[in-house]
Structure 1
Amino acid sequence: MKKILFFLFIAVGIGFFFFNKKGKVIKNVAKSYVLPPNYINKEGMTISERIKVPEGYSRASYPEGSFSKYIQDYVLKPFDAKVINYDGNPYVYQSGHVGVLEVPVPSNGLQQCADALIRLRAEYLWDTNRKDDIGFNFTSGHYCSWKKYSEGYRPKINGSKVSFHRTASRDTSKQNFYKYLNLIYTYAGTQSLYDELPKITNKANVEVGDMLIYPGSPGHVIMVVDKITALDGDILFIFAQGNTPAQSVHILKNLSDNSISPWYDIEMNQYLEIPTYYFNKTQFIRFK
């Protein structure tokens, strides 16, 4: 009798699962059993090694020494690495990333979304012996260069008025470079990046290292860290972000489309949803 009741329960359960109250087959049930493609190589230790290319696409190739190549080859932490806040604690949400970049998070809490991408650009220029090109605008529009900072010039800020005065000794050390970046983090952000940098208005022209931005206070910005193109011209992107509170820079999953995640298929000036945030329209800027 127990066996009969057990099988009767199973039969009723299956019938309830596949049919609604009117007896019609519930749509899309089969889809839940179809696993999405896996484009993750857990052993990959750079961005381009971690993310696989879907069939029919080819990865964008860039010259050695370019910023785009620098980003594609950026070193990652092991696959199971968590996103860590500036205070050393894991971020409350750990389900939106497939990789964490080897970018230290300062304990001062300043390295937030725009700041993290500013750091990537500044360190690229430092590592490629282009130190004199390191410089960013404050939100006020005033340009603050590493060259002048290293020579001892410091800003005097009075509201929206900024002037620079030599008040410190010359110091070109890496330690002083990070003090300079802390200054930039304090007075720059999404609005200053948007106001300062050139805009990319054509999807085909968006390259690795470009940034999708919503300027404001608060605003948000994420970076293209990989790009692939199909023979028919279709283009997909991978994005990475820092965040607020200041935390590990991480590669984003595409929670809206598991069939291509972590790749994103975007349209210019259209809505885009990413883990923990959404953009009302996609607009891109590029570091000079």
Structure 2
Amino acid sequence: MRKSIILIASILSVFFLIRTNSKGKQITNHLKGIVKNTISKPSYINESGDSISTRVRVPEGFKRVTYPQGSFEEYLRNYKLKKYGTPIINFDGSEYFAQHWHDAILEIPVPKNGLQQCADALMRIRAEYLWNKNLQHKIGFKFTSGHYCSWKQYAEGYRPKINGSKVKFLKTTNANYSKSNFYNYLNLIFTYAGTASLHAELPKVKIKDLKIGDMLIQPGFPGHIEIIADEIMNDKGEKMYLLVQGNTPAQNVCLLKNFEDIDISPWYRFAENEPVYTPSYYFDKPVFIRFK
């Protein structure tokens, strides 16, 4: 017992020293989650589950919202996971300092170049879905400058010539439609796009209209963004969601616990004009956006 008390006290001490929200205020609600996580396991986690839908159980009275087979929503819901307990690893091979935030690690490689940060990881998920569905012509994102850069354009050999906020696309190389060149394209997107460009480019979504694939965003440099990876509903029409994030520094993409409402963790509820607390970020005025 004494060891448990010392362990909890140590965790809380470290947490107070290193974790603050975006305004410099300590997110004290996380302490509840850390303490409970130290003394008990979440009740909605199936440790043997190898996908989001099989790792996280549905609370009594709720059912998963149905989406068409092959849809982006089903793609996210059934995303493959690493073995339960896998730690979050940074792009340089080091372990991230906070290993108590997640209930799952998604099977998304983390490039060693450090470019695949929070928004980048979600753009990669979207782009890979379109690639796998043979919808490569729909792959494209705007730079922070507002200039649209499509995979089709890049594959044809066009490259951006950037001068401050001015961008021109010039054909400078032979066409290359290979998968390896696709990842070269994504590295370019990771360099010149992010939360600010996604916030400016994509349509906003009201809380009542949320679905899998919508993203909770705080634009900025770096800002932060998280994506809804599952959705459930009860007979009253009440909904709950799962959140997934990449992060800065570039690291494994993970499914987040809910320290604000630990009784339903990792599920989240959202309400209009209500702030959203997640383990690594505090969204004071939550805004949701949707891929086109």
If the length of structure 1 is used for normalisation, what is the TM-score? 0.86
Partner of 2:290: 286
| Matching of residue 249 in structure 1 with residue 253 in structure 2 | yes
Aligned-pair identity (%): 56
1:195-251 residue CA offsets vs partner (Å, 9 max, x unmatched): 1011101x2311111100001112100000011111111111100000000000000
Aligned ranges for residues 171-186 of structure 1 at < 5 Å? Answer: 171-186=176-191
Name which of 220, 231, 237 aligns with 1:233. Answer: 237
1:84-119 residue CA offsets vs partner (Å, 9 max, x unmatched): 100011111100000000000000000000000000
Q: Secondary structure at the match of 2:99?
A: coil
Name which of 253, 257, 260 aligns with 2:264. Answer: 260
Larger Rg: 1
Cα deviation, residue 71, structure 1: 0.3
Aligned partners of 1:200, 1:265: CA distance in 2, in Å?
A: 15
Name which of 113, 126, 138 aligns with 1:121. Answer: 126
Aligned ranges for residues 65-84 of structure 1 at < 5 Å? Answer: 65-84=70-89
| Matching of residue 167 in structure 1 with residue 169 in structure 2 | no
Q: Secondary structure at the match of 2:291?
A: coil
Cα deviation, residue 269, structure 1: 2.8
Aligned partners of 1:268, 1:262: CA distance in 2, in Å?
A: 20
Q: Secondary structure at the match of 1:195?
A: helix
Aligned partners of 1:215, 1:168: CA distance in 2, in Å?
A: 34
Q: Secondary structure at the match of 2:232?
A: strand
CA contact (8 A) 1:210 1:224 kept: yes
Aligned ranges for residues 1-288 of structure 1 at < 5 Å? Answer: 38-201=43-206, 203-288=207-292
Letter in 2 for 1:63: P
Aligned partners of 1:181, 1:89: CA distance in 2, in Å?
A: 23
Cα deviation, residue 192, structure 1: 0.4
Cα deviation, residue 281, structure 1: 1.6
Letter in 2 for 1:176: N
Letter in 1 for 2:71: S
Letter in 2 for 1:180: Y
Aligned partners of 2:265, 2:86: CA distance in 1, in Å?
A: 19
Q: Secondary structure at the match of 2:199?
A: helix
Aligned partners of 2:208, 2:46: CA distance in 1, in Å?
A: 27
Aligned partners of 1:112, 1:267: CA distance in 2, in Å?
A: 27
Structure 2 unaligned regions, length at least 5:
1-35
Q: Give aligned pairs, total.
A: 255
Give the 4+ runs in structure 1 shifted more than 4 A: 34-37
1:44-97 residue CA offsets vs partner (Å, 9 max, x unmatched): 101011000000011111111110010001000001111110001111110000
Aligned partners of 2:55, 2:269: CA distance in 1, in Å?
A: 19
Structure 1 unaligned regions, length at least 5:
1-31
Aligned-residue CA RMSD (Å): 1.3
CA contact (8 A) 1:97 1:252 kept: yes
